[in-house]
Chains A and B, each alone.
Chain A
Amino acid sequence: MDFSIASILALDGVTNGAVYALLATATVLLFAVTRVIFIPQGEFVAYGALTLAVLQTGQVPGTVWLLLIMAAVAAVVEAVDGLRQRRPVGLVAKGAVLTLAVPLVIATVAMVAAPMNLPLVVQALLTLAIVTPLGGLTYRLAYESLADATVLVLLIVSVGVHFALTGVGLLFFGAEGYRNPSFWDERFNAGPLMLTGQTVIIFLASAALIVLLWLFFERSLYGKALRATAVNRLGARLMGISTVQAGRLSFTMAAFIGALSGLLIGPTTTVFYDSGFLIGLKGFVAAVFGGLASYPMALVGALGVGLLESFGSFWASSFKEVIVFTSILPVLLWRSLRDPHTEED
């Protein structure tokens, strides 16, 4: 291996690492706020990439129907709950309408816009609008009533949600993969390195999102409420912060990050309905580097996973995944030796 090969591999690793970093951030966020280890994070990546791919063909993507169905079920669940607690009928109806309103608007826009062959950027924004609300709805339907359950129960629910979302993905998008057109076709050459426009976009988008998240947590009231919930759920509740709202907000953010990652990797590879799982799992490995608690460490972990993967596949391509996933063992060992702690639940 000479310097040029090493630099190409490093660039490749950092590019993939940037996407893993986004997913690791989402994983850490969800675990901190809701204690859910969210395995289906990768499904939103696949949904994002494939929804855009279907929009490209001028058809209405299946995720629109999924959005409508999930919103309808959530509205019914909410109405039944409200009536059981003997709230005024008017208030219950208003709640149900509010739940349905946003998805209905998005779905209508999607159905009108799908055959119009709009510019790629508009379709990308539409994709984000379709996939992002799925996160909050997933939390409502699968996790909200179990919010106080143990981490293990929540993990098992996650496994179920993962299978459900993968199956739905196969139903909507079929077994064949798609590759999206590049957002920016420019190519830059620097010595042996070839930087494509898409790589630049991946770096910029990841960096921008991480800065935005930092600003959100440091400067905004919602961000501070999420942080408070992460530090101490009961304490946050006593201070008047709704943990239910915190959960919905963090899941919505996770779905947004997932869909955005999907848009970023869509033009660099072929995405299948089940591609998301491994990508999400690598984000999870990166999050474990940070002990599922530290964002900067998760970022470092993500770049580490990306580099390990790219150099690993150069030296021993058949053992690539083995190398990546085995690397989690020494990290776990180091973490448990460094700060031993007892199970909270």
Chain B
Amino acid sequence: MKLTKTLLALAALWAAGAAQADINIGISLPLTGPANGLGIPMQKGIGLWPASIGGEKLNVVVLDDGSDPTKGVQNAKRFVTEKMDIVMGSAATPVAIAMSDTVAEAATPHFMFSPAVLQAGKDSWAFRLPQSNAVMSHAMLKHMSKLGVKTVGFLGYTDAYGESWLKDFQAEAAAMGVPIKVIATERFARTDTAVTAQALKLTSANPDAVLIVASGSGAAMPHKAIIERGYKGKVYQTHAAATRDLMRIGGKDVEGAYVVSGPCVIAEQLPDAHPSKKVAIDFVQKFEKANGPGSRNQFAGHAHDAALVLEKIIPMALKKAKPGTPEFRAALKDATETMGRTVVSHGVLTYSKDNHWGFTTETGVILKVVNGDWKVE
């Protein structure tokens, strides 16, 4: 609450006395509520942004949305009435989706910090900074076919995240033409106390690999359940599980699991040929210098990437129009769509008019859990 008030006061102060030509950026983040684990590292990442880009001062206003869609929309309305040049956020998917309508109506570029799937035609102003599930499936499928996996059992959340992984995974398999089939589909909820029954059904189908779609510390319980049922095949986890909570709770049962992740958290281990290696190491060094060793985090990486995108698009847009005008906002959108290959800490971004997801297939890295730590495959 106190933080919100301070930020509001700051926003008011800015509204009263800011110079006209500054570039104004409004960011809504879940600094409180269930998704604060995503918002707080992002806020720290934003704290390391440059003070000015292209010779113009950046005015960054961060508001808390409390992981609540209603408050996210309120923040979005405030941003557009104050004629912000760029709106960003939120890191929580339901909040980001709720904000998108307001921001799009005001014809303002919207950078989302969550892989939010919007209805067709609704995302003309919205760009996502995290990777899509399809692009992550690509890396996973490539790894699976290398290991000769033919059949996959799916064990995922009964929510939008689980559902979209199942859909994107199968679509990507068909698009890549790899002979990998999902032969069993089981679901569970984060708050479930047991998945014994689902694990039994999966192990009796005996697929070559099991794909677990869950997030954070919720990803360990189903993993332990299938190991307890004596499953000997390979286990894959998604990028939402690529946190140390998996090992903290899973212990020796998650040993040998394959986890798909963005490259920025394991920067040093990346092969030299990986396009993001330099940028990722730069991010990790800067971030850990400010926040202490071991503080690196994929969401802070997205915040870092946002600044890299801004550094590319703002000079392009400044050539066409002045900040604070609708023309400038339109120019920013065009610049994002035409900026071309941009290497960031999470991979390579190339947005286009039809593709607002950005990441190329170079982004996904497969990590293996070895002795309670990540190892790049």
Chain A residues within 8 Å of B, Cβ to Cβ = 5, 8-9, 12, 15-16, 19, 170, 174-179, 194, 265, 268-270, 272, 274-275, 277-279, 310-314, 317-318, 320-321
Contacts and interface: CB of A to CB of B under 8 A. Distances in A.
Given A176-B37, A176-B245, A310 B191 contact: no
B149 to A, nearest CB: 22
A179 B196 contact: no
B363 interface: no
Contacts of B192: 269, 278, 320
A59 B193 CA distance: 25
A317 B197 contact: yes
Contacts of B35: 175
Interface string B16-31: 0000000000000000
Contacts of A279: 193
Contacts of B195: 313
Contacts of B33: 170
Interface string B185-202: 011111111111110110
Contact of B191 (A5, A15, A272, A318): A272
19 contacts: A5-B204, A9-B200, A170-B33, A176-B37, A179-B220, A269-B194, A270-B249, A275-B193, A310-B194, A313-B188, A313-B195, A314-B197, A314-B198, A317-B186, A317-B187, A317-B201, A320-B188, A320-B189, A321-B189
Contacts of B249: 177-179, 270
Contacts of B37: 174-176
B197 A310 contact: yes
B196 A12 contact: yes
B196 A9 contact: yes
A314 B200 contact: yes
A199 to B, nearest CB: 11
B218 A177 contact: yes
B36 interface: yes
Interface in B184-241: 186-198, 200-201, 204, 216-218, 220-221, 228
A159 B22 CA distance: 48
B340 interface: no
A287 B50 CA distance: 60
Nearest to A5: B200
A269 B221 contact: yes
Contacts of A16: 193-194
How many B residues are at the interface, by size bracket? 20 to 34
Contact of B188 (A5, A176, A178, A317): A317
A330 to B, nearest CB: 22
B200 A8 contact: yes
Contacts of A320: 188-189, 192
Nearest to B204: A5
B194 A268 contact: yes
A114 to B, nearest CB: 19
Contacts of A278: 189, 191-192
A265 B33 CA distance: 25
B197 A311 contact: yes
Given A269-B221, A270-B220, A175 B34 contact: yes
A142 B196 CA distance: 38
Given A175-B36, A179-B221, A317-B198, A268 B187 contact: no
A47 B150 CA distance: 44
Interface of B: 33-37, 158, 186-198, 200-201, 204, 216-218, 220-221, 228, 245, 249
Contacts of A277: 191
The 8 closest A-B pairs by CB, nearest first: A314-B197, A177-B217, A313-B197, A12-B196, A270-B221, A269-B193, A318-B187, A179-B249
A277 B37 CA distance: 22
B253 to A, nearest CB: 11
Given A175-B35, A178-B217, A8 B196 contact: yes
Contacts of A313: 188, 195, 197-198
B98 to A, nearest CB: 20
A176 B217 contact: yes
Nearest to B188: A317
Nearest to A273: B34
A80 B198 CA distance: 56
Contacts of B197: 9, 12, 310-314, 317
A265 B193 CA distance: 8
B33 to A, nearest CB: 8
Contacts of A272: 190-191, 217-218
B191 A275 contact: yes
A170 B221 CA distance: 20
Nearest to A277: B191
Contacts of A179: 217, 220-221, 249
A265 B221 CA distance: 12
A12 B189 CA distance: 17
Nearest to A265: B193
B191 A268 contact: no
A178 B250 CA distance: 10
Contacts of B193: 16, 19, 265, 268-269, 275, 279
A197 to B, nearest CB: 13
Given A175-B34, A178-B249, A278-B191, A270 B198 contact: no
Q: Which of B194, B216, B221, B245 has the most CB of A within 10 A?
A: B194
B64 to A, nearest CB: 15
Contacts of B228: 194
A314 B195 CA distance: 9
A311 B197 CA distance: 7
A38 to B, nearest CB: 19
A320 B198 CA distance: 11
B189 to A, nearest CB: 7
Given A8-B196, A269-B221, A272-B190, 18 more contacts: A5-B204, A12-B194, A175-B36, A177-B218, A178-B249, A268-B193, A269-B192, A270-B217, A274-B34, A275-B193, A278-B189, A279-B193, A312-B197, A313-B188, A313-B198, A314-B198, A317-B186, A317-B188
B232 to A, nearest CB: 16
B160 to A, nearest CB: 13
Contacts of B245: 176-177
Nearest to A176: B217
A277 B191 CA distance: 9
B221 A314 contact: no
Nearest to A318: B187
Contacts of B218: 177, 270, 272
